[in-house]
Amino acid sequence: KDVEDVVSAGFFPPSYWQLLNRVAEYYYTQLIQVIRVALPPGLLGRSQRRIRLIKGDKRDSPIPNPQSPIPNPQYLSPAARQILEILQAQSAGDYSFAYLQRQVRGAYRAVRELLRNNLVESYLEPPRKGRPKLQKAVTLVVDVFPIDVTQRQREILEVLRRRGGDLWLTELLQICNASSSTVKTLEQKGCVVIQEREMLRSAAEPALAEDQPKELTNDQAQALEVITNLSGFSEVLLHGVTGSGKTEVYLQAIAPILESGQSALVLVPEIGLTPQLTDRFRARFGNKVCVYHSALSDGERYDTWRQMLAGAAQVVIGTRSAIFAPLPRLGLIILDEEHDSSFKQDQPAPTYHARTVATWRAELENCPLLLGSATPSLETWVNINQGFSRESGIEGIPNPQSPIPNPQPPITHYLSLPERIQSRPLPPVEVVDMRSELQQGNRSIFSRSLTEGLQQLQERGQQGILFIHRRGHSTFVSCRSCGYVVECPHCDVSLAYHHTHEDAAQLLRCHYCNFVRSHPQSCPECGSPYLKFFGSGTQRVAQELAQAFPQLRFIRFDSDTTRTKGAHRTLLTRFANGEADLLVGTQMLTKGLDLAQVTLVGVVAADGLLNLPDYRASERAFQTLTQVAGRAGRGNDPGRVIIQTYTPEHQVIQAVRRHEYQSFIETELQQREALNYPPYGRLILLRLSSTDPAQVQETAELLAATLTQKDEDSAGYEILGPAPATILRVANRYRWQIMLKFAPDSLPHLPDFTELRFLCPSSVSLTIDVDPLNL
Ligand code: ADP
Ligand code: ZN
Ligand code: ZN
């Protein structure tokens, strides 16, 4: 399409533009898709073309008296005259072009005619959400109040003065319980000025007490020293066990950046889940901290985005897409919990990983990138430059001899925080074999160890965390008589049982498409009344807790209880204030919580994490369990972790028990290397989906055949599939996939995906997932 109008010039500096192009290229997607991720959604809404009359004084018109209404000159076509009449009938003389098109036949030509004759002008109105929000503000402009202001007016002026002489009109009216005409009178008397001003839409955050930099431990000080002395682009890994004070290092690394007038970007896994972290930043840097993530409204995102663009020194904390924050003077990028899979977008395109984009961005902006984790990803681990293994005194860091087909440059600095703050020990991890519990007659979901641990909490005035792999009550409902399992009508998965307290309703919910149905009274298949719940989610555990430990106060913390805005913060605050003894929840408990009173961490059943059909299952299970365990003993009281499992001998469980990151990761790397899996070989996953099961399968077969043919000329990758996705149908779409597996040195021979797109019928959608994480 033609460019209609340039809204603002110079809005992407060349390096930013390069970044977007690089993402489009690497992830095989169109530039516009990348722009959609990078810019706030409000800005990319539809702009509207509007047509308005040129008012008399501006009009350079052939009509004799420019002050008179336009007399529908005879030289205009009937359609043009009709449009003039419509515009004149409205006081502003202004309509959307779409409206005129609906009213008048041949409106397009007629408007062009009017434009040529200088009778109307046309303009683009930006999308509603992508506009500043203007509000009336009242400013006090006199020191001494004139004598003719009456009592009521005087009160208003007093309030204004007390509040610093400047307030939003609505706020002032509310405080004084006055009407706007009174304020207008004061304006006429020259006491105040009323002006439209931009009001920033930002989520209200509670005020915080100021926080001073802490005195660093030796390890922290050493790490900070290296970071603050970096100049230009480099990639640094800060490998610190849970509770070792990584966040304090981030804070002190950012301070000098802000002082020099530059900005810092901090990416975190899921921001709604970590109000604690944003609070720590706000307590240190006050209103220089902006938060940017998808839970904000479009208006809030648009305003924050413009604030970033304005370029004052600031700290932006955000999730995945904040890697595109338009900060003009970027001095440092930090990725906290760099191993977390939420940094990867699976769908829609671009299927980018924020860590990959961050390395490019740091390179283009010539600034350092700091990756932080207690359990670094294999990708990052393999990138560590061999030279640093000696310098930091740790052994066994793998030396990647073969060129790694990884887009990321090697890590130049390895910084380690091997101990917790104040030499607090890492919590001992006890592994309980649930098989022997059963043999000894314990049928409860709580082992004797965990039971004892929970009982002690209240006695000792301490708090605990209970981790459950799933939300809801039971993972599926099945008939005892015929074995029927209640499934989602739109997806190939069983429905999970949920119990809602509000109306005591019993619901079955699909965790993929959110389909909900009532719980059947009897088996839909055989009519038997004996339906049984299997598996246990947070609800079920909560119920059993209430039965077994009636005196224990607990808070459920999962996506069911944190749906409303601010719920994370409310629940965590209640917990931190000691209103409960136990926090019971899912995955979201693992991310960055720093609660000093928590001494006990229990994992109800680790097995759900271990047995996932994915080559990364072990790595992920290890990371999750280590992170959950890391919530215990962060304060003065020592911690304790209890992991319940049916496979205590599993290597992941053993590694977590011994806090052995390194040996675990090395075994894992050897396996990946032997099978050519990442981070050695690379993967590209073609995801196809359609509502038509036959068509998606046919297309998948056609694409695979095409690729196989090409493979013969330019070998270098292996084709796995086509195969149906692990769950074939989700929300009525059937999903197939083809995996391309590249040997480490085969990168130059990438297939031409544009051609493949042409082979897809319009009913089949194709997403190219480069370096897929979630298979
Ligand atoms: P991590 O991010 O590595 O898990 P945190 O930064 O959350 O660790 O630190 C754990 C706890 O130790 C926090 O409560 C933090 O305030 C505190 N802390 C960090 N550094 C210091 C220090 N140098 N002196 C005292 N307390 C510290
Ligand atoms: Zn049945
Ligand atoms: Zn479903």
pLDDT value for 64: 43
The answer to whether 322 and 358 have CB atoms below 8 angstroms apart is no
Ligand 1 atom with the smallest distance to the CA of 250 is: 6
**483 C-alpha to ligand 2 centroid (Å):** 6
Which one of the ligands is nearest to 488 CA? 3
Question: Has 760 been labeled as part of a binding site?
Answer: no
How many angstroms separate the CA atoms of 347 and 731, rounded?
15
Question: Has 191 been labeled as part of a binding site?
Answer: no
Contacts of 422 (CB under 8 A, 6+ apart): 217
What phi, psi does 402 have (nearest 5°)? -75, 150
Q: Which of 594, 598, 623 is the pocket-test mutation for ligand 1 (most atoms within 8 Å of CB)? A: 594
Question: Has 176 been labeled as part of a binding site?
Answer: no
**Ligand 1 and 636: CB distance under 6 A:** no
**Ligand 1 and 240: CB distance under 6 A:** yes
User: Coil, strand, or helix at residue 140?
Assistant: strand
Ligand 1 atom with the smallest distance to the CA of 220 is: 23
pTM of the entire predicted model:
0.79
CA dihedral 501, 506, 511, 512 (to 10 degrees): -130
Ligand 1 atom with the smallest distance to the CA of 246 is: 3
**Ligand 1 and 283: CB distance under 6 A:** no
**513 C-alpha to ligand 3 centroid (Å):** 4
Which stretches of the chain drop beneath a pLDDT of 50? 58-68, 386-407, 748
Which one of the ligands is nearest to 487 CA? 3
**Ligand 1 and 416: CB distance under 6 A:** no
The interaxial angle of helices 107-116 and 78-89, nearest 10 deg, is 80
pLDDT value for 113: 92
pLDDT value for 24: 92
* DSSP string for 613-640: SSTTHHHHHHHHHHHHHTTTT-SSSPPE
The answer to whether 468 and 545 have CB atoms below 8 angstroms apart is no
Question: Has 491 been labeled as part of a binding site?
Answer: yes
User: Coil, strand, or helix at residue 732?
Assistant: coil
Contacts of 624 (CB under 8 A, 6+ apart): 587, 590, 609
